[in-house]
């Protein structure tokens, strides 16, 4: 049986969030933007974009799907918190 | 009405009906254009004179501004929130991480409209401008988003 998923602690979430929200310096930011993509990475991005636009062909459908995904993730998060 | 009590179509309908000059930026704009990314927040860039109109239009949806329009204008940003969070830039211009000033009026003049639901639309920066707005926050994920936007741009040309 696979191990049961455990929600990370509030502290770990806060730490990850702070890292993700950190404003980079211009040098750091430009280095990341200008990091060359491999052909494989580029093809994968295009493939994802193509799939997303085929599956959800209008902006309305895409935004609605994103909203539904978020709400579903929230429900899962709350359920996992409730079962801790 | 969606579960969670917030209806995103009604939110955009209220913004459009207000007549305020509102640009949807951030990851919601990326999603509208076709990028499969995740976000829970809404990011708007509005004209400096339109905060009161935006607040008035969204109040019936339960969204409350954390600053008065005057104070928000001084600070350059504010938040509308209830169970949702809407980050609002309210500035004539915003600097990128490189110090390049980007003016709302310029971005607004090049905006594109996308339909959110029948009869409801929202304005987005054009693709080139959306890439520039990603240089405001300059977080790691903004850099990743720029790479995806550039792939999308190359596909269009």
The reported pLDDT for the residue numbered A73 is 82
Q: Write down the pTM of the prediction.
A: 0.89
**Pick from B5, B77, B9, B85: nearest CA to B40:** B85
HSE-CB of B45 using CA atoms within 13 angstroms: 27
> Token pair 């609002």 is at which residue?
B88
Distance from CA of A4 to the nearest CA of B (A): 24
Cβ-defined contact of A49 to B152 (cutoff 8 Å): yes
Cβ-defined contact of B8 to A74 (cutoff 8 Å): no
DSSP B49: T
Indicate the residue of A21, A26, A64 with minimum beta-carbon distance to B98. Answer: A26
Helix and strand numbers, DSSP H then E, in chain B: 7, 9
The reported pLDDT for the residue numbered A83 is 58
Average pLDDT of span A55-82: 86
Indicate the residue of A33, A46, A71 with minimum beta-carbon distance to B2. Answer: A71
Whether pLDDT at A6 is above 80:
no
Whether pLDDT at A34 is above 70:
yes
Cβ-defined contact of A52 to B135 (cutoff 8 Å): no
**Confidence label for A84 from pLDDT (cuts 50, 70 and 90):** low
**Can you tell me the ipTM of this complex?**
0.85
Q: What is the largest CA-CA distance in chain B?
A: 43
The reported pLDDT for the residue numbered B2 is 52
Contacts A48 to B, Cβ<8 Å: 36
Instruction: Name the token pair of B101.
Output: 């000033």
Indicate the residue of B3, B39, B143 with minimum beta-carbon distance to A29. Answer: B143
User: Are residues B146 and B35 in contact, defined by beta-carbon separation less than 8 angstroms?
Assistant: no
Cβ-defined contact of A42 to B142 (cutoff 8 Å): no
Indicate the residue of A21, A69, A71 with minimum beta-carbon distance to B38. Answer: A69
Average pLDDT of span A18-43: 93
Q: pLDDT tens track of chain B, all 157 residues?
A: 454 568 889 999 999 999 999 999 999 999 999 999 988 889 999 999 999 999 999 999 999 999 999 999 999 999 999 888 999 999 999 999 999 999 999 999 999 999 998 999 999 999 999 999 999 999 999 999 999 999 999 987 7
Instruction: Name the token pair of A40.
Output: 């494989």
The reported pLDDT for the residue numbered B3 is 47
Residues A47-74 as b or e (16 or more Cβ within 10 Å = b)? ebbeebbeebeebbebbbebbeebeeee
Which class for B44: exposed (0-12), middle (13-18), buried (19 or more C-beta within 10 A)? buried
Distance from CA of B18 to the nearest CA of A (A): 20
Contacts A53 to B, Cβ<8 Å: 34
Cβ-defined contact of B39 to A66 (cutoff 8 Å): yes
Indicate the residue of B4, B31, B143 with minimum beta-carbon distance to A62. Answer: B31
**Pick from B18, A69, B68, B50: nearest CA to B10:** B18
Q: Compute the distance between CA of residue B129 and CA of residue B134 in angstroms, rounded to an integer.
A: 9
- Residue from B143, B154, B157 whose CB has the most chain A CBs within 10 Å, to mutate: B143
- Residue from A35, A63, A75 whose CB has the most chain B CBs within 10 Å, to mutate: A63
Whether pLDDT at A44 is above 60:
yes
Whether pLDDT at A37 is above 50:
yes
3-state helix, strand, coil in chain B (%, to 5): 45, 25, 30
């Amino acid at each position: 049986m696979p191990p049961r998923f455990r929600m990370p602690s509030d502290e770990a979430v806060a730490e990850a969030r702070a890292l993700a929200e950190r404003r980079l310096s211009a040098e750091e930011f430009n280095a990341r933007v200008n990091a060359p993509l491999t052909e494989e990475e580029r093809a994968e991005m295009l493939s994802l974009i193509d799939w997303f636009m085929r599956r959800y062909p209008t902006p309305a459908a895409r935004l609605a799907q994103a909203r539904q995904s978020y709400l579903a993730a929230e429900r899962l998060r709350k359920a996992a918190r409730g079962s801790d | 009405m969606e579960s969670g009590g917030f209806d995103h179509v009604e939110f955009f309908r209220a913004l459009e009906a207000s007549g305020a000059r509102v640009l949807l930026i951030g990851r919601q704009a990326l999603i509208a254009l076709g990028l499969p990314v995740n976000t829970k927040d809404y990011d708007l860039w509005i004209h400096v004179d339109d905060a009161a109109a935006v607040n008035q239009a969204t109040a019936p949806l339960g969204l409350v501004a954390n600053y008065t329009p005057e104070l928000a204008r001084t600070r350059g940003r504010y938040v509308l929130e209830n169970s949702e969070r809407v980050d609002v830039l309210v500035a004539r211009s915003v600097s990128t991480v490189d110090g390049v000033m980007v003016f709302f009026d310029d971005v607004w003049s090049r905006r594109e409209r996308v339909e959110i639901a029948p009869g409801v639309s929202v304005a987005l920066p054009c693709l080139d401008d959306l890439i520039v707005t990603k240089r405001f926050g300059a977080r790691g994920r903004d850099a990743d988003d720029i790479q995806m936007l550039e792939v999308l741009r190359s596909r269009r040309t």
